[in-house]
Amino acid sequence: MAPSFRADHIGSLLRPASLLEARKSRQLYSDTALSSDIAAATKAAIGDAVKKQLELSVRPITSGEYERTIFYSGFFEKLEGMKTKGLPIPDGFRTGLPSSTVFLRMGRTMREANIAIAPIRRNGPAYLEAWEMLKSVTPPEHWGDCKMTLPSITMEHSQLAHGTAWAPGVYASDREYFADLAAAYRAEFKDLYDAGLRHVQIDSPNLSVFFVDSVLEGCRTDGINVDEFLDLHIWAHNEMLRGRPAGMRIGLHMCRGNMSRWDFTRNTLHCFHAKSLMDGSPYQPLFHDLFQGSYETIAEKMFTKLNYDQFYLEYDDPARQGSFAPLRFLPRGKSVVLGIVSTKTAEPDDVAVSEDIDVLEARVREAAAVIAKGQGRSAEEVLEDTLAVSPQCGFASLDINVGKGFTEEKMWAKLVLLRDLARRLWKDAV
């Protein structure tokens, strides 16, 4: 099955200044209801982003996540039984979690999370309003080119200290907790599908923790069997996917962290890399390298056990992610979107691997050869029905996050580069 789009992108785009100004007072977990003025500014900004994507033949068409404050907001906090709470760092979170180290280094001792204080139930759609907003500014003939992102089902559980994802007495086991969450996701998929959405991306930094040494050591310290923990998360993802609409393509983005520089002087999380560019202070990428390591240790289980149609994998920096060798485990019938262009820096001298189109083409062909050997096929066959290209992550996982040196013009230039690469490699590219 060929990828949904030959030149894909991960969903989030840099927010225009007008939208940032309108949304500047909103909090991290406050996407439950937009005031009329913010809703109008959001719709206008999404309309401009859609127009630009159509003009440049950039696919898929997304809202840029302009309706959100951060990539995972807007789902968990809308579920009955979930409550957003501040938890102490590190005690409220898993031992060895890399983000806890960073928060503490910056002087932050509390962090928000969504806890189940009662059985989880979905009373209504979480993202249907956002989908209808995107549809309203997109020509109907292009609705099938649209994609929306949802946070991973394991987003909260993977970070919270063992046994704290729900209040005492709410659930008897992890599987009970995930079963209710999975039911909420399945209902969300159906509502979005019935409203015309055909492409969904699940954003999961969570599976990346399974190749981080500090997390694995933390599991052992806490008496958690790592293999059983990974199997639980795979089961949860598959339970979420069970019975999904047959016409909906759902992919998994294996995020490795995408934040830049942080300011904890306010009560809420706030990225101020844009400020650092103005005041001349040095760029300090704190979160972007949280999940270093090869996919090798989890690749076989990830590719063969997870029931996703396609995988979005970060491959912009071999020093962080390793070689393409783990792709040898990819079975036939599943596809991979290679994230080979950086969203962390816009400057050619700073990228880990040259983003010259010839170099990028060679890397795609190298990946095809690895998959082909594992599947016993030719590289050309694999190239034709298995691969696509994208940036390695979104351009703004947080509404005011921005990579080093990025402007909207440089962002669109990177997406056009991927479009041109796809046109060179595949005759069916847009």
Closest CA to 290 of 221, 234, 208: 208
What is the rounded CA–CA span in Å between residue 187 and residue 24? 32
Q: Which residue has the higher pLDDT, 327 or 107?
A: 327
Chain segment 182-193, per-residue pLDDT in tens:
999 999 999 999
Q: Which residues pair with 166 in a beta bridge?
A: 116
Closest CA to 200 of 247, 233, 159: 247
The whole-number pLDDT of residue 211 equals 83
Q: Is the pLDDT of residue 284 over 70?
A: no
Is 17-425 a domain of CATH 3.10.580.10?
Answer: no
Q: How confident is the model at residue 13 (pLDDT cuts 50, 70, 90)?
A: very high
Q: Is the pLDDT of residue 289 over 60?
A: no
pTM recorded for the entire structure: 0.90
What is the rounded CA–CA span in Å between residue 41 and residue 45? 6
Does residue 271 sit in helix, strand or coil? strand
Q: CB–CB of 52/412 below 8 Å?
A: yes
The whole-number pLDDT of residue 25 equals 63
Q: Which residue has the higher pLDDT, 50 or 112?
A: 50
291-317: average pLDDT = 91
Q: What order do you get walking across the sheet with 335-341 strand by strand?
A: 148-151, 199-204, 249-254, 310-314, 335-341, 387-391
Question: Among 94-98, 228-232, 374-378, whose mean pLDDT is lowest?
Answer: 94-98
What is the rounded CA–CA span in Å between residue 31 and residue 25? 12
DSSP category for residue 283: P
Q: Report the amino acid identity of residue 333.
A: G
Hey, what are 101's tokens? 């180290």
Which residues neighbour 24 within 8 Å (Cβ) at sequence distance 6 or greater? Answer: none
The whole-number pLDDT of residue 290 equals 58
Q: CB–CB of 324/367 below 8 Å?
A: yes
Geometric angle at alpha carbon 313, from 402 and 185, rounded to 5°: 85
Q: Is the pLDDT of residue 170 over 90?
A: yes
Taking all residues of the chain, what is their mean pLDDT, rounded to a whole number? 88
Hey, what are 122's tokens? 């979905």
Half-sphere exposure of 119 (CA within 13 A, CB side): 7
Q: Where are the domains of the chain?
A: 17-425
Q: Which residue has the higher pLDDT, 268 or 334?
A: 334
Question: Among 75-84, 101-110, 342-351, 414-423, whose mean pLDDT is lowest?
Answer: 101-110
CA distances from 81 to 167, 168, 171, 177, 294 (A): 10, 13, 12, 11, 37
Closest CA to 192 of 265, 228, 139, 245: 245
Chain segment 33-48, per-residue pLDDT in tens:
567 888 899 999 999 9
Q: How confident is the model at residue 266 (pLDDT cuts 50, 70, 90)?
A: very low
| Strand 262-263 with 270-271, pairing | antiparallel
266-284: average pLDDT = 34
Q: Is the pLDDT of residue 343 over 80?
A: yes
What is the rounded CA–CA span in Å between residue 282 and residue 273? 9
Q: Which residue is it, tokens 């994802």? A: 165
Q: Which residue is it, tokens 């080093």? A: 404
